[in-house]
Amino acid sequence: MIRDLVLPLYIVAMFAPAPAFAGDLLVGNKSADTVWRLSTSDGARVGEFATGQGPHEIVVSRDNHFALVSNYGGATPGHSITVLEFGKPGGARTIDLGDNGKPHGMRLLPDGKRAVVTTEGSRKLLLVNVVNGRVEHAIDLGEGRGHMVALSADGKAAFVTKIDTGTVSRVDLSTRTKTHEVPAGAGAEGVAVHTASGDVWVSNREAGTVTVHDPKTLAIRHTIASEGYPIRVVFTADGNHALVTNARAATLSVIDASTFEVERTVTLSRPGVEYRETMLGSAALPIGVIADPKKPRVYAAISGGDEIAVIDTAQWKVVDHWKTGREPDALGIVE
């Protein structure tokens, strides 16, 4: 059953004055089932939310009044999304996804009321109404498990990666159908859309590449080497650089978005530090990455070290490390 919500309370929370969370970094701790709020001034923990098991991705609303957290689960698959309501400090509610298990990638549509969510368990792309907490539609993605998702600027198309098939798909959200699916590279995982060009960037972890695709046909326009298990790709706020975390190499590739060349490679592991066991062995394992829209900084989640690496973009150098909960991954910023 999908959980019913008390609509008036949510509307009050959604349209309340901007909360005092502005400038906070949200960190999803996968093995602790929590989201921490860290001050971007000094990295201090200023708050904590409980989530479902295995919080994997975070998306913050454009009005900065709430965030969504996908609860992937662990030994038992998760079937829910947690809504963190900033208008109610410490408040959270749950959207039940029914039979759609292992929710992962998420994006909010431009209306701020609906989200697209990939579910590996049912191999669907869900259209979820965040206001009333209901799944409006489940779009079949075919063979392979949809993992991460990105949206076109107008919110009319979604782009979904599949690790196991090494492909990227285009979904028309008006007709609610998959229109294209093409090879990207082995282990296609991260995906982001450049706001100016509309190009679709995909990080292919086994292939060690980033591919840049035409948003209409998904034809590959460029292939960029990013060695060491490229697992996520995001853009800086100005769109000038693509940032790619290379999980096995423990580096960050800084790619010029106009020349499609790796401009710099930033080392994210620390000499002499003992990292715990991860899916890649004892390793730093950087995964989530996000650029601060208001400060010359980038934050990378060091999953094997339970910390955030703070990168100064003026010199592209790690300048600080902030403590997190167990196994940080997903990141979001409240502006």
d(CA 71, CA 224): 32
- Of 57-71, 82-96, 98-112, the one with minimum mean pLDDT is 82-96
pLDDT at 217 over 70: yes
First to last CA, the chain: 34
Percentage with pLDDT > 90 across the chain: 89
Compute how many other C-beta atoms are within 10 angstroms of the C-beta atom of residue 12: 13
pLDDT at 3 over 90: no
Length of the chain: 335
pLDDT at 178: 98
The residue ranking higher by pLDDT, 155 or 1, is 155
pLDDT band at 279 (very low <50, low <70, confident <90, very high): confident
332 token code pair: 């979001």
User: Using an 8 Å Cβ cutoff, are 235 and 216 in contact?
Assistant: no
Q: What CATH number was assigned to the domain covering residues 1-137?
A: 2.130.10.10
Instruction: For residue 216, give the amino acid letter.
Output: K
User: For residue range 281-318, what is the model confidence (pLDDT) as tens digits?
Assistant: 899 999 999 999 999 999 999 999 999 999 999 999 99
SS3 10: helix
Question: How many degrees, rounded to 5, is the angle at CA 261 between CA 259 and CA 262?
Answer: 140
- How do strand 307-312 and strand 297-302 relate by DSSP bridges? antiparallel
Percentage with pLDDT > 70 across the chain: 93
Which runs of E-coded beta strand occur in 236-285? 241-246, 251-256, 261-267, 277-278, 281-282
Among 66, 75, 83, smallest CA distance to 101 is for: 75
- Of 90-94, 166-170, 219-223, 266-270, the one with minimum mean pLDDT is 90-94
Among 279, 249, 254, smallest CA distance to 265 is for: 254
User: Using an 8 Å Cβ cutoff, are 305 and 322 in contact?
Assistant: no
121 token code pair: 């368990």
Domain positions in the chain: 1-137
pLDDT at 90: 56
Q: What is the mean pLDDT of the chain?
A: 93
Among 303, 308, 301, 300, smallest CA distance to 327 is for: 303
Element (H, E) at 147: strand 146-151
pTM of the model: 0.93
274: DSSP letter: -
CA 250 centroid distance within chain = 18
pLDDT at 12: 36
